Amino acid sequence: MKPGLDVRTPYQFILWAEQKFEDADLYYGHGTDNAYDEAAYLILRGLGLPFDLDDVDLNQELPAEKIEFLVELIRCRVEKRLPVAYLLNEAWFCGLSFYVDDSVLIPRSPIAELIADRFSPWCEVERVSSIVDIGTGSGCIAIASALSFPAARVDAVDISRDALAVAEENVRRHELSDRIRLIRSNLYESLAGQHYDIIIANPPYVDESDMDTLPEEYRHEPGLALAAGDDGLDIVRHILSDSREYMSDNGILVCEVGNSQEALMEAYPDYPFFWFEFEFGGHGVFLLTAAQLDQL
Ligand SMILES: C[S@@+](CC[C@H](N)C(=O)[O-])C[C@H]1O[C@@H](n2cnc3c(N)ncnc32)[C@H](O)[C@@H]1O
């Protein structure tokens, strides 16, 4: 893979990478949905440049070592199907930058929109004093929530030591060590006696048939973050049965189940799930209140 002599600037590289990505029929789903945006993400952030780079810098000739570096990045994206976020060790969530590697899922949950809206109209910001993020991975949901709810302490739980190491790095990066507690736990097991105003969970929920047909890009992500048995509900079942015990009386549970929404509704026909709609894409996120759970 070698660019012609007419590929010397960031902009020319974006167009060249776009063509390579299209030829290779890559899969997009980690923050972009087309070859051009994916190419711009890889080239600009690969060079450490901002997304809103001006025309002058976009058309500046690059030194030879940067050209070599970009060619290698493009090669790895195409030939190994490695997601850009892992190639750059960087992902974006709620407008914040996170360190990521292949021990964590690449942040992309539509719950970002709900956090940015501070779960309005379900919560009053000043009345939220405790939040837990179940299956924190990179820590993206816990960190964005801590920033949206400045009066809240946040527990970030994961069963994976490697994921918690990544989350720790991100908590440090966002200077939130005084408000976010990282806890290694199998779901609620280590949280005895705690009550939270908001429980947020983006657990593994991919069912067996979706696991079998995952695009190659997703196969670089940890299976522990994705696979959830035959019907995708192995973990969600526990979240549904155990959450009420850990909620305050005015608490809410917000949980993502993605494509397993239908299976969940079939398995729990009596649950009054509220399903969110998203402006920027995504689906399969429900809300239940403590009061609703009390009535079941
Ligand atoms: C879908 S990922 C979500 C990561 C992150 N919250 C995000 O939205 O990008 C699910 C996470 O749940 C963790 N996990 C899987 N089983 C778990 C369990 N039984 N208890 C706690 N965490 C678990 C995985 O290690 C993974 O980090």
Cβ count within 10 A of residue 193: 6
For residue 202 and ligand 1, the question of a CB distance below 6 A is answered with: yes
Kindly tell me if the per-residue pLDDT of 61 is higher than 90.
yes
Name the band, by pLDDT with cuts 50, 70 and 90, for residue 103. Answer: very high
Global confidence as pTM: 0.96
For residue 258 and ligand 1, the question of a CB distance below 6 A is answered with: no
Average pLDDT, the chain: 97
Tokens read off for 55: 């025309």
Tokens read off for 206: 């991919």
For residue 204 and ligand 1, the question of a CB distance below 6 A is answered with: yes
Name the band, by pLDDT with cuts 50, 70 and 90, for residue 1. Answer: confident
Burial 143-179 (b: 16+ CB within 10 A, else e): bbbbbbbeebebbbbbebeebbebbbbbbeebebeeb
For residue 103 and ligand 1, the question of a CB distance below 6 A is answered with: no
Pair 211, 234: CB distance under 8 Å? no
Residue 144 Cα to ligand 1 middle (Å): 16
What domains does the chain contain, in order, with CATH numbers?
A: 10-88 (1.10.8), 102-294 (3.40.50.150)
pLDDT recorded at residue 5? 81
Over residues 239-296, the pLDDT tens digits come to: 999 999 999 999 999 999 999 999 999 999 999 999 999 999 999 999 999 999 999 9
For residue 145 and ligand 1, the question of a CB distance below 6 A is answered with: no
For residue 141 and ligand 1, the question of a CB distance below 6 A is answered with: yes
For residue 186 and ligand 1, the question of a CB distance below 6 A is answered with: yes
- Mutate which of 105, 200, 241 for ligand 1? The one with the most ligand atoms within 8 Å of its CB, which is 105
Residue 136: HSE in the Cβ half-sphere, 13 Å Cα cutoff: 39
Pair 276, 257: CB distance under 8 Å? no
The H-or-E segment that residue 256 falls in is strand 247-256
Name the band, by pLDDT with cuts 50, 70 and 90, for residue 204. Answer: very high
For residue 158 and ligand 1, the question of a CB distance below 6 A is answered with: yes
What's the DSSP call for residue 245?
G
The residue nearest atom 14 of ligand 1, judged by CA position, is: 135
The residue nearest atom 6 of ligand 1, judged by CA position, is: 136
For residue 235 and ligand 1, the question of a CB distance below 6 A is answered with: yes
Name the band, by pLDDT with cuts 50, 70 and 90, for residue 220. Answer: very high
Over residues 145-192, the pLDDT tens digits come to: 999 999 999 999 999 999 999 999 999 999 999 999 999 999 999 999
Determine how β-strand 196-201 pairs with β-strand 130-134.
Answer: parallel
Helices (H) and strands (E) in the chain, counts: 12, 9
The residue nearest atom 27 of ligand 1, judged by CA position, is: 137
Q: Give the rounded percent of residues in the chain with a pLDDT score beyond 70.
A: 100
Over residues 113-144, the pLDDT tens digits come to: 999 999 999 999 999 999 999 999 999 999 99
